[in-house]
A and B are shown apart, each in its own frame.
Chain A
Amino acid sequence: MSLRQSMSGLHTWAGLLVSWILFVVLFSGTVAVFDKELTRWMIPQLHKLEQVKVGADPVRELIVERAPKAHGYWMHPPTERMPYWTAGWEPADFSEFQSFLVDAQSGEVLPKTVGGNFFLELHYELHGGLLGLYVVGVAGVFMLVALVSGVIVHRRIFKDFFTLRPKAARQRAWLDAHNVLGVLGLPFHLLMAYTGLAIFITFYMTAGIKVAYKSDMEHFFHDVQGAFEREELGKPAKATKSIDNMILKAREAWGDDSQVGWINIEHPADAAAMVQIRKAVDKGMVNDQRTVSFDSGTGALLHVQKPYKPGYKTYAWLTGLHMAQFGNDLLRVMYFVLGLVGCVMVFGGLQVWVSKREARGHRGVALVRTLNGAVCGGLPMASLGLLAASRLLPAELLQRTRWEATVFVVIWLLALVHALLRRGSRAMAREQFVALAALALLLPVLSLFGPEPGRVTTHFASGDWMMVGIDLGLLLIGGLCAFLGWRLGQERAAPVRERRARNEEYA
């Protein structure tokens, strides 16, 4: 067996097995590029931020009200992309982090929503905690293997660089698409897969820590970040000094125009309570969150974290490259487009596999087709359903975030059932496109009946272009899906024309 043959087999199998999980990871990652904008979109009650009137201290009061026994309070000041205070706490029983948002002008707590963060969590852990993290990690390695083997297998990688023949026979057309999108986006696909794995490196590879730190994780983290920690004293805490004052001192300590990012109050009920103020992740590449630590009771400056050393700086740089929080909106639009390229590439690969085997009646074709419908059609539908739920569910509903997540899951299950009933047929695809079009077009229209700040007309009037972008994007997606649904119906009606075209291709 030649290298090309063995790599072809590896590429097909490794690719096929991971395709659906990878599609979920790539799709949710693509959507999550705009996670902060989506959170904003999902809170239509949020007024445009003219001036920040609420400081850190009132926000702290709100957290204490909700969780007096928590072992950590967290808050993040308003930024351009997050024009509200984010607040949260680590529960005393070490259960999941709880959070809420505060209007930066009125000081009111905003309606709860899963926000764009839902897609981010879906992306890196499939909402599956540690197990999900490992599944995504394995998928990432598979993706790298598929990319490398794909390049080895691609016979005419330079000659076919620009070749896309949509009117050719189905297998040829999809193979062209899969190859072209894979090759054109290769730097992006490779780097995103690699940096994505790099972010959670300490979960995936502990060899270095084992041999050099004798498995002492805490020691490694402390060394590599130069962070500051303090043990609990077991005595009750003094009243907190003003955090807003500490913010001023932190910015003095940094000496440049760094903004404040996450603020964390460590063991707030203990005498050793600390207020730790991190730099905001700014427009530069390195995910720099260096911390200044203060004593909570006296306000004394305890520690200023030094600039990152080369090892951690490299890690922070790779993390930054992946997370797309650097640069401007254009950068995120580009990452979004390239992410979509990746999704279509994966889908194209599945179409190649199917079209190669459907002629000879391979047993797996129906299963693969059904999974394609369930995942590649179901996930976008569930996502649009989530957005609709965020607009339709009453603002004061108890456990609102749980309801939003439930809608997402239910719609996805419905799509799965639909795919099973339709056996992954072309009719299934058509119906999916119609459903997607309806949902996507519905959303901007729905907004017109909701709170004033969230209406598509308001976004336009106030020049809020990112929000306009989401609404316009939804209309575009709706239009595209409607068109594709119509096209699928047409193809059935004109098989003769297709056959003639195939002859012309090879003439």
Chain B
Amino acid sequence: MLLVFGLNLLALAAACLSLSRHHRDLFGSAPSESRVRLLRIVALMDGALALAYAIHVIGVELGIVYWACLLMIAGAALVLLLAWRPRWALPTAAAMPVVGGVLAVLG
């Protein structure tokens, strides 16, 4: 489930960066149109991947519920990071799915 959480977090981070306010905060300038499009595609893909994996592990009924809960909690986590430790936001969003993936493969 950490992988699902991590992918959701990455998806939301990408969605967040596609908004000019946050892109400016983290990178100093607004994102170009093509970058916005790319970020949105990354966000959707990661979210879909997370959902697919959740369903694969615990079935459709529970999978959707767990994925949705983890998505909401990942959102809250990202917002808290951006508010108090913005420089940790992107590294965490990048690292979490990797750690989750490793654990999933090992466990």
Contacts and interface: CB of A to CB of B under 8 A. Distances in A.
Q: Decide if A and B touch, CB cutoff 8 A.
A: yes
A77 to B, nearest CB: 24
B30 interface: no
Given A285-B61, A327-B62, A331-B66, A162 B22 contact: yes
B83 A166 contact: yes
A184 B83 contact: no
Contacts of A331: 62, 65-66, 69
Interface in A137-175: 158-159, 161-166
A327 B66 contact: yes
B97 interface: no
Nearest to A189: B72
A327 B69 CA distance: 13
Contacts of A334: 66, 69-70, 73
B68 A187 contact: yes
Interface residues of B, number: 25
A320 to B, nearest CB: 10
Contacts of B84: 166
B76 A341 contact: yes
A450 to B, nearest CB: 34
Contacts of B12: 162
Nearest to B78: A162
B25 to A, nearest CB: 10
A338 B73 contact: yes
A185 B66 contact: no
Contacts of A165: 83
A164 B79 contact: yes
Contacts of B72: 184-185, 187-188, 338, 341
B69 A338 contact: yes
Contacts of A159: 19, 21
B68 A337 contact: no
Nearest to B69: A334
A326 interface: yes
Nearest to B61: A285
A330 interface: yes
Contact of A335 (B21, B61, B69, B82): B69
A133 interface: no
17 contacts: A162-B12, A162-B19, A162-B75, A162-B82, A163-B21, A163-B79, A164-B82, A181-B76, A184-B72, A184-B76, A185-B72, A188-B72, A321-B65, A326-B62, A327-B62, A327-B65, A334-B69
Interface of B: 1, 12, 15-16, 19, 21-22, 58, 61-62, 65-66, 68-70, 72-73, 75-76, 78-80, 82-84
Given A163-B21, A334-B66, A338-B73, 9 more contacts: A159-B21, A162-B75, A162-B78, A163-B79, A166-B83, A187-B68, A188-B68, A330-B66, A331-B62
Q: Which 6 A-B pairs have the closest CB atoms?
A: A334-B69, A164-B83, A184-B75, A162-B16, A164-B79, A166-B83
